[in-house]
């Protein structure tokens, strides 16, 4: 019997659902999660010692490939000097300066320990800085699991949202307006009706939590102009896209500057870290300077910061993102060509080292279009690829991630495997 099966049964006795984060449980594709024994470069090995080409990369952080020797060395060297102090360090200044230098809209930055903490605090900061309560988010965008952000659209346009999780009182999300991603008119209407009460918009400037969905032309521009016109703050949640789509996040690609940026994932190189930053003026609202409270025992953890600094240094290598983007494009084009060869409705898209593949003829621009893709076929594809030793995200609503170690041979092997799988799918 597979050790994965044994471990999953055992995990399910001591851990709810057998996992420490829900999507890992394979609920939306069925079957048994693979328990990772070790990882290196583009690969990981499961509990049966089966090797997989990994297109999750810890949901983004492993942009340099797993267990990059320089990052591992930085972690080992930092650990020798103590794991946590609860007092400031020089390394925290260094990573703050690196983030400020690279992210166009950040003048000051505060470190936290996860993306959830970063977005939760960014919302509190926007509310504190504006003295307003209402926030706008878009359905299908994920901003971590803070109460006011676990919301889906209510019925009808311009309604306030309903909690998507048990344990969130409706009153807690009463100030959250939920709109459709890429719905420019919806944004204008919300500001026309509630403009003076809106503290902020929070958005994934390229969405990666409802599969990959790019902003349509004008969408981010209108978010910026509406916020500016009505005195609201624009939050780019770049937890996933930061240092993943390019050297300066989506704000670097588009030239659109948010007021607050949230980061995590890549900036920790695999260690727990998060950050939020903005102009000095906005950041002056945070304690101890201002009245918006935020704190963390492990914030700026020296081991996580060491991994982050080394990762960011390596990402600054000339041509890094051109190369990563080219590899990702090659993968997506290869998968699409293989599917079309077998007559399967399939499309793909990518930005930097992030990609989406969809069992639909055209690339979706909304959550509804992702939902309308052939999700049953995705499930069969997912498991067949797993058998082939290729690990895609276990859900049709997740993006994929390529690392610098996914070289031509790894990508070619992936496309060959997909070709065999598409051939089977075409036979039905
Ligand atoms: C992953 C993610 C988060 C949450 O980050 P955690 O570190 O998992 O708390 C928030 N926003 C976006 C866009 C994400 O992709």
Active site (annotated) includes residue 424:
no
Q: Is the pLDDT of residue 310 over 70?
A: yes
Q: Is the pLDDT of residue 154 over 70?
A: no
Active site (annotated) includes residue 52:
no
| pLDDT value at residue 156 | 54
Non-local (6+) Cβ contacts of 281 within 8 A are none
Task: State the Cα–Cα distance between residues 167 and 149, nearest whole angstrom.
Answer: 13
pLDDT bucket at 1, cuts 50 / 70 / 90:
confident
Q: What is the mean pLDDT of residues 24-46?
A: 96
Sheet (strand 390-391) strand order: 36-40, 43-46, 51-54, 390-391
Q: What is the DSSP letter of 70?
A: H
Q: What is the mean pLDDT of residues 194-200?
A: 97
| pLDDT value at residue 366 | 95
pLDDT bucket at 268, cuts 50 / 70 / 90:
very high
What's the gap in Å between 191 CA and the centre of ligand 1? 26
State in Å, rounded, how far the first CA of the chain is from the last one: 28
Q: What is the mean pLDDT of residues 233-251?
A: 98
Q: What is the mean pLDDT of residues 44-72?
A: 98
What's the gap in Å between 336 CA and the centre of ligand 1? 28
Instruction: Give all domains of the chain, ordered by start, each with its CATH number.
Output: 3-67+318-427 (3.90.1150.10), 69-315 (3.40.640.10)
Which of 24, 61, 115, 353 is the best mutation target for the ligand 1 pocket, counting ligand atoms within 8 Å of the beta carbon and taking the most? 115
Q: What is the mean pLDDT of residues 251-280?
A: 98
What are the pLDDT digits (tens) for 208-221?
999 999 999 999 99
Q: Is the CB of 115 under 6 A from ligand 1?
A: yes
What phi and psi values does residue 419 have, to the nearest 5 degrees? -60, -45
Q: Is the CB of 114 under 6 A from ligand 1?
A: yes
pTM: 0.97
Rounded to the nearest integer, the mean pLDDT of the chain is 96
| pLDDT value at residue 163 | 86
The number of helix segments (H) and strand segments (E) in the chain equals: 13, 16
Which of 21, 117, 144, 397 is the best mutation target for the ligand 1 pocket, counting ligand atoms within 8 Å of the beta carbon and taking the most? 144
Q: Is the CB of 209 under 6 A from ligand 1?
A: yes
Q: Which of 409, 412, 392 is nearest to 401 (CA)?
A: 392
Q: Is the pLDDT of residue 158 over 90?
A: no
| pLDDT value at residue 159 | 59
What are the pLDDT digits (tens) for 112-131?
999 999 999 999 999 999 99
pLDDT bucket at 161, cuts 50 / 70 / 90:
confident
Could you identify the residue written with the tokens 């309308």? 372
| Residue nearest atom 6 in ligand 1 by C-alpha distance | 115
What are the pLDDT digits (tens) for 169-195?
989 999 999 999 999 999 999 999 999
Active site (annotated) includes residue 321:
no
């Amino acid at each position: 019997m597979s050790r994965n099966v044994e471990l999953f049964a055992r995990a399910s006795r001591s851990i709810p659902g057998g996992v420490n984060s829900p999507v890992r449980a394979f609920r939306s594709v069925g079957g048994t999660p693979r328990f990772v024994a070790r990882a290196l470069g583009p690969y990981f090995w499961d509990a049966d010692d089966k090797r997989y080409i990994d297109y999750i990369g810890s949901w983004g952080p492993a942009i340099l490939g797993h267990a990059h020797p320089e990052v591992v060395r930085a972690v080992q060297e930092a650990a020798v000097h103590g794991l946590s102090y609860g007092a400031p360090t020089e390394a925290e200044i260094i990573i703050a300066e690196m983030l400020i230098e690279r992210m166009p809209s950040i003048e000051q930055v505060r470190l936290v320990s996860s993306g959830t903490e970063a977005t939760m605090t960014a919302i509190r900061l926007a509310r504190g800085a504006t003295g307003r309560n209402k926030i706008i988010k878009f359905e299908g965008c994920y901003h971590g699991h803070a109460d006011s952000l676990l919301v889906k659209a209510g019925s009808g346009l311009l309604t306030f949202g309903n909690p998507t999780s048990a344990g969130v009182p409706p009153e807690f999300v009463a100030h959250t307006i939920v709109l459709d991603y890429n719905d420019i008119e919806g944004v204008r209407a919300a500001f026309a009706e509630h403009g003076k009460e809106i503290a902020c918009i929070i958005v994934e400037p390229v969405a990666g939590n409802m599969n990959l969905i790019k902003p349509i032309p004008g969408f981010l521009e209108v978010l910026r102009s509406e916020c500016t016109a009505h005195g609201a703050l624009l939050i780019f949640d770049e937890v996933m896209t930061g240092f993943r789509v390019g050297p300066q996040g989506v704000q670097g690609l588009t030239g659109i500057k948010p007021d607050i940026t949230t980061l995590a994932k890549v900036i920790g190189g695999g260690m727990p870290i998060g950050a939020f930053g903005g102009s000095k003026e906005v950041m002056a609202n945070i304690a101890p300077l201002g009245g918006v409270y935020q704190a963390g025992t492990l914030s700026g953890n020296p081991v996580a910061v060491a991994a982050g600094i080394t990762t960011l240094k390596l990402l600054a290598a000339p041509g890094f993102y051109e190369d990563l983007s080219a590899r990702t494009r090659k993968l997506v084009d290869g998968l699409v060509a293989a599917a079309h060869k077998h007559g399967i409705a399939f499309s793909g898209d990518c930005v930097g080292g992030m990609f989406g593949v969809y069992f639909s003829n055209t690339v979706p621009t909304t959550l509804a279009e992702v939902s309308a893709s052939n999700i049953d076929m995705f499930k069969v594809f997912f498991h067949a690829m797993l058998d082939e030793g290729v690990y895609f995200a276990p859900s049709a609503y997740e993006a994929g991630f390529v690392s610098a170690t996914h070289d031509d041979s790894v990508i070619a092997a992936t496309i060959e495997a997909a070709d065999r799988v598409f051939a089977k799918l075409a036979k039905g």
